Structure 1
């Protein structure tokens, strides 16, 4: 049975409490009591008198000091060495700050750090249609860096995403205006440069605050269905390039030697020319010195020239012919045969015997020649 049924007053929780019959608490009395207590803490009337008022003033001061210290220390922040900070005051751009320890107005200013030194990578890849209506998969990667933090944050919604879309557009444009053979083989560098140029042209009006550091052409390959045929074609082109390099290397090796031979022949010709000129000048000088002698004594000079000429002629032969005056005989001395016979004997004999034989043969040969000479002289006399 409920406590509030008629005739059940003894079960009312607000009555008979503490032995007294009391009703529910008055809400106004509760609020008034709470207000008096709070007013006593903050300097109002309280049951404590003057000491309560002094305590409340000190408490308020301490709270204010702590709040100020917390606010001040909460405003310190650090900008890293590779970053620049963008200051927003009430959401509006208010400038940039350099790296280091800084302070800002908390709840008034906000700092957005932007890395301006790190080089970032952005890849791009996909199947694309070339100018000669072939499909090729191209992979490329760019490297970029932030140079203007304000434009990087505020010029577009997302600068990195805008750069990615611009790279894809530039790559497809360049590949669409190039032949597949050039993309796969010799035209890769040209494609890379054209993509770089086209990308800078696309992003320039948007002021993204970025700079393109490098563009890397990573890979280009045909679809798997025709990959083998294209591999053979590429191998043939590489062989062609290799043969050309080998031919150029051979030409570079042959040409210096040929030029060296030409230079040597030129030097020899110049030397021969100088020698001939000097010989002619020497003959002229000798003739000029000989002419006065000839004019003074023609017969004697003529005889001396004849003897000198004959001496030069016979000095180049190993045969000696002696004309004996007063007779009709001419003696022939085969000196070459004699010398050849002596060399044969020396080769056949031992070393010790050869040395002894040399002295013996020399001793034995000399008298025979001298004897013949005596005979010739005796016959001539």
Structure 2
């Protein structure tokens, strides 16, 4: 007889015997609705009918709203703002995903993604001081200050465990190598700036090699100090170097003053020499042209030209003489011509100063008459010979 036939006792093979049946699904939903309604302030038990009615719908809506609000709050927690001097490093489950610049940004909220802000404009400074051995086996005290900042935020956070310690260790190594390869005089005098530049470049090379993300901005090296036993001698050497530079500057200033003047004087002398050359050449060319003209005239009339040259020459020779001598022809006596006007001018000066002046002796009538008769004729003859 089947279990569901009359008289079968209503026994089904899944009940395990007895009168207990399977759990009612509607009863389970109702109980769950009552519990949730109690959490949100609703009333339980039978007011909404078998399926819960309006109370169940209100509870589900409240749950949806609460979940939506929580989701919005969770998503909004991923908004972050990076400052002008900062860089944002985003990671997803600890792995680097992106580096962001200044401004507002968003990332998937925790625990999926996180962001770390790094200040890339902040300058970090530390000092290093030590006694070191130079190339020429001298001991020198060196003190320097190293300034750095973060250049690559991602490398700074993930490539090196302690970038600041790496920078200090690299500075110690580079300083010892650089000072050990330089001489004491060079480190203490004119090579101090060059040594500082070399140290900065070598430290930066190590920082790039180790990918620390740091940039060495400045290396300020203080004046190196010698040991106390020889400090006085080194002070004298520094003073001598300063005196040398001062004298060199004075000599350069003097040279800058003298050389332009000498160049100007040389240019003036050269210009005068060129002018004198041009003058001599012009005079020589004029004399040559004059000689050629005289030669032409001489070839035409030798006697007249010879007499003319003689008279011009004597005029040049005796032109500054105050006395005039006339050649008397036909065996006459020579007559001396006295320039009375010049003698009066010479005697006027002592007379004004109060000195007595004696009048010139008067010529004898005979000589005066002879001069008056012969002078005009001789002057005419002279003019004829000149022509």
Does TM-score exceed 0.5, indicating one fold? yes
- 1:93 counterpart residue number: 96
Using the TM superposition, give the Cα deviation of residue 287 of structure 1 relative to its aligned residue in structure 2, in angstroms: 1.8
Counterpart pick for 1:141 among 142, 145, 148: 145
Separation (CA, whole Å) in 1 of partners of 2:343 and 2:130: 96
Using the TM superposition, give the Cα deviation of residue 329 of structure 1 relative to its aligned residue in structure 2, in angstroms: 3.8
- 1:73 counterpart residue number: 76
- 1:354 counterpart residue number: none
Separation (CA, whole Å) in 1 of partners of 2:172 and 2:340: 102
Structure 1 SS opposite 2:161: coil
- 1:46 counterpart residue number: 44
Please tell me whether Structure 1 or Structure 2 has the larger radius of gyration of its CA atoms. Answer: 2
- 1:230 counterpart residue number: 234
- 2:166 counterpart residue number: 162
Using the TM superposition, give the Cα deviation of residue 91 of structure 1 relative to its aligned residue in structure 2, in angstroms: 0.6
Separation (CA, whole Å) in 2 of partners of 1:375 and 1:87: 141
The answer to whether the Cα contact below 8 Å between 1:142 and 1:216 also exists between their aligned partners in 2 is: yes
- The reply to whether residue 57 of structure 1 matches residue 60 of structure 2 is yes
Counterpart pick for 1:105 among 98, 103, 108: 108
- 1:28 counterpart residue number: none
Q: CA RMSD in A?
A: 3.8
Separation (CA, whole Å) in 1 of partners of 2:157 and 2:344: 112
Counterpart pick for 1:196 among 196, 200, 205: 200
Counterpart pick for 2:210 among 202, 206, 209: 206
- 2:375 counterpart residue number: 380
- 1:31 counterpart residue number: none
Separation (CA, whole Å) in 2 of partners of 1:335 and 1:223: 99
Per-residue CA deviation, residues 110-150 of structure 1 (Å, 9 max, x unaligned), is 22233445665554333323233433222323444544332
The answer to whether the Cα contact below 8 Å between 2:82 and 2:104 also exists between their aligned partners in 1 is: yes
Structure 1 SS opposite 2:104: strand
Alignment of 1:270-349 (within 5 A): 270-314=274-318, 317=320, 319-323=322-326, 325=328, 326-331=332-337, 333=339
The answer to whether the Cα contact below 8 Å between 1:43 and 1:52 also exists between their aligned partners in 2 is: no
Per-residue CA deviation, residues 14-68 of structure 1 (Å, 9 max, x unaligned), is xxxxxxxxxxxxxxxxxxxxx9766622599725944654553343233223212
- 1:14 counterpart residue number: none
Separation (CA, whole Å) in 1 of partners of 2:351 and 2:213: 104
Separation (CA, whole Å) in 1 of partners of 2:206 and 2:231: 33
- 1:251 counterpart residue number: 255
- 2:136 counterpart residue number: 132
Using the TM superposition, give the Cα deviation of residue 229 of structure 1 relative to its aligned residue in structure 2, in angstroms: 4.1
Per-residue CA deviation, residues 246-267 of structure 1 (Å, 9 max, x unaligned), is 2233334333333333333333
> How many residues get paired?
325
| 172-181 or 112-121, which deviates more | 112-121
- The reply to whether residue 174 of structure 1 matches residue 169 of structure 2 is no
The answer to whether the Cα contact below 8 Å between 1:76 and 1:104 also exists between their aligned partners in 2 is: yes
- 1:183 counterpart residue number: 187
Q: Structure 2 stretches of 5 or more lacking a match?
A: 1-32, 49-53, 377-387
Separation (CA, whole Å) in 2 of partners of 1:342 and 1:37: 158
Pick closer, same or farther for the CA change 1:292–1:378 going to 2, 3 Å: same
Separation (CA, whole Å) in 2 of partners of 1:82 and 1:199: 24
Q: Structure 1 stretches of 5 or more lacking a match?
A: 1-34, 350-364
| 113-122 or 287-296, which deviates more | 113-122
Structure 2 SS opposite 1:279: helix
Pick closer, same or farther for the CA change 1:53–1:66 going to 2, 3 Å: same
Structure 2 SS opposite 1:220: coil
Per-residue CA deviation, residues 177-196 of structure 1 (Å, 9 max, x unaligned), is 22222222122133223323
Using the TM superposition, give the Cα deviation of residue 89 of structure 1 relative to its aligned residue in structure 2, in angstroms: 0.7
Separation (CA, whole Å) in 2 of partners of 1:373 and 1:170: 120
Per-residue CA deviation, residues 208-236 of structure 1 (Å, 9 max, x unaligned), is 33444443333322355654443233112
Structure 2 SS opposite 1:301: helix
